[in-house]
């Protein structure tokens, strides 16, 4: 399974893929609380589809935010930590 985190200005979309087919989708507005909402929203999405976080083998980010935005840095950190922990 793969999780795509898409972000635009103040909007975050989570897309859960299984064999290149979207099996789940969740969106929320980022109102200066992304660090509180992101991991909880990812967990909620994965579990709502009957999977566990261990089933997600890859996380990728698609962002239209400039790299200096804090939201972009939070999302990239989640991506890197998730991918590191799955591969080790």
Residues 83 and 88: their CA atoms lie apart, in Å, by 9
- Give Dmax over CA atoms of the chain in angstroms: 36
Does the pTM surpass 0.75? The reply is: yes
Which residues constitute the domain of residue 40?
Answer: 2-87
**Domain harbouring 78, CATH code:** 3.30.420.40
Number of folded domains in the chain?
Answer: 1
Q: What is the pLDDT along the chain (88 residues), one digit of tens a residue?
A: 999 999 988 899 999 999 999 999 999 998 888 988 999 999 999 999 999 999 999 999 999 888 778 888 999 999 999 999 998 7
13-21 long-range contacts (CB < 8 A, ≥24 apart) are 14/41, 14/42, 14/45, 16/45, 16/46, 16/49, 16/51, 16/56
């Amino acid at each position: 399974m793969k999780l795509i985190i898409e972000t635009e200005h103040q909007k975050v979309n989570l897309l859960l893929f299984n064999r290149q087919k979207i099996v789940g989708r969740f969106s929320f507005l980022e109102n200066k609380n992304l660090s509180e909402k992101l991991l909880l929203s990812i967990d909620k999405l994965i579990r709502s589809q009957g999977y566990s976080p261990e089933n997600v083998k890859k996380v990728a980010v698609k962002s239209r935010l400039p790299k200096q935005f804090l939201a972009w840095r939070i999302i990239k950190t989640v991506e890197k930590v998730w991918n590191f922990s799955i591969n080790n």
